[in-house]
Structure 1
Amino acid sequence: MEGIFPGTREELLNKVKKSVSERRYQHILGVEKAAVKIAKKNGYDCEKASIAALVHDYAKERSNEEFKQKILDDNLDEDLLNWNNFIWHGVVGAEIIKEQLQITDEEILNAVRRHTVGAVEMTLLDKIIYVADFVEQGRTFPDVEIARVLAYSDLNVAVGFEAKHTLEYLISSSSLVYPEAILAYNKWVVNKGEFNAK
């Protein structure tokens, strides 16, 4: 963890565990396991993938008031005030991670920012965390086994599968759709062509 987190793995785990519920902590450990497996398959630094996975939901269970105050205090895009935890724990959570865990590696912070709805431009680490969060062993949803096969065989196709699934979920639950989710869908599904309707 040298150069990324100022402490040992055990110290990072302890800080993460104190920040979330036991159920969320178990999810985080599951994402780490999946992220390391995907990183190995794609020739990526396993330690960096591990750290990004361990912190991706660090701020997930913070209050709405804390997120809103952070947006104002850090002069983040004021449009963020119109969203909710689904967006905040990634985009605003990265700022909380930077402040409280002293992790300043932008690649890791961007992976946290993008792990809920993806993005048009995604680094290999972005894709690893985005997909690992979707397929970790605790997840149960229709087609999760298909998602897992894709995650460990073709990461780009897995990103497209998740982008489509996320957008379908948001629409079916009559949720606000964050613009980046639509842009990610257009990039990874429509423009890739893997899931175009015939």
Structure 2
Amino acid sequence: MERKEALKLVEKQLTKKRYEHTVRVMETALALAKHYKVNEKKIELAAIFHDYAKYRHPEEMKRWIIEEKLPHDLLDYHQELWHGPVGSKMIEREVGMRDPEIQSAIYWHTTGKRYMSMMDKVIFIADYIEPGRDFPGVDEVRSIVYEDMEQACWMAARNTISFLMSKNQPIYPDTFQLYNENIGRNMNG
């Protein structure tokens, strides 16, 4: 699928603001893909479709979680986490895009996980650092991302965990696993 067609499909699913975010994620992800020598065509499509399910009704997403046999523990967490796993299935059914690497990057873009592929990491971190983002810690992650992707992902997980803890929100276990994966190399950081 070509960029123009993909963007047109996604634009119908998103608000204007979220569509603009998607374009910035795509541009950020493509720059990271070039740097880290990751398949740029797949990165482009994963970035374009990463928020495909973002504005689906919670009941619809719940049905997808159950019918597609996604982990049922997702239902114990905020519905904000659902759009990645659900979107990874929706693009297959609704758009005909069946590519395990693209689908994995979409699936994990919100929570992250342990042992992510480089494609997973690029989409996870591009969504986190795209130029429209402005929150505590984002500039620190931006400053390291082209030097050390592992460190950038760890910092993003750390920041997300800290933010959610400050709000007394539950934290999905895979985010802790991502944080723990690199804690040894970051003990002094």
Q: Does 1:30 align with 2:24?
A: yes
What does residue 41 of structure 1 align with? 35
The amino acid across from 1:150 in the alignment is I
State the distance in 2 between where 1:50 and 1:81 align. Answer: 29
Residue 143 of structure 1, CA deviation: 2.7
Question: TM-score scaled to structure 1, two decimals?
Answer: 0.90
Identical residues among aligned pairs (%): 35
Size of the aligned set, in residue pairs, is 189
Q: Does 1:89 align with 2:89?
A: no
What does residue 102 of structure 2 align with? 108
The amino acid across from 1:78 in the alignment is H
Residue 144 of structure 1 is aligned with which of 114, 135, 138? 138
Q: Which runs of no fewer than 5 residues in structure 2 stay unpaired? A: none
The amino acid across from 1:77 in the alignment is P
What does residue 56 of structure 1 align with? 50
The DSSP-based 3-state class of the residue aligned with 2:12 is: helix
Contact 2:3/2:44 (8 A) holds in 1 = no
The amino acid across from 2:63 in the alignment is Q
State the distance in 1 between where 2:148 and 2:42 align. Answer: 20
Residue 197 of structure 1, CA deviation: 4.9
State the distance in 2 between where 1:95 and 1:63 align. Answer: 15
What does residue 158 of structure 1 align with? 152
Contact 1:167/1:177 (8 A) holds in 2 = yes
Of 80-89 and 157-166, more deviation after overlay is shown by: 80-89
What does residue 135 of structure 1 align with? 129
State the distance in 2 between where 1:162 and 1:76 align. Answer: 24
> What RMSD, in angstroms, separates the aligned Cα atoms of the two structures?
1.4
Question: TM-score scaled to structure 2, two decimals?
Answer: 0.94
Residue 173 of structure 1, CA deviation: 1.1
- Residue by residue over 1:122-159, the C-alpha shift from the partner in whole angstroms, topping out at 9 and shown as x without a partner, is 10101100110011000001232221121222211111
The DSSP-based 3-state class of the residue aligned with 1:122 is: coil
Contact 2:84/2:110 (8 A) holds in 1 = yes
Q: Does 1:187 align with 2:184?
A: no
- Residue by residue over 1:85-132, the C-alpha shift from the partner in whole angstroms, topping out at 9 and shown as x without a partner, is 222011122111211111110011111111112111110101100110
State the distance in 1 between where 2:4 and 2:140 align. Answer: 34
- Residue by residue over 1:42-86, the C-alpha shift from the partner in whole angstroms, topping out at 9 and shown as x without a partner, is 111212111110011111111111111112222333222222322
State the distance in 1 between where 2:161 and 2:118 align. Answer: 21
State the distance in 1 between where 2:101 and 2:93 align. Answer: 16
Q: Which runs of no fewer than 5 residues in structure 1 stay unpaired? A: none
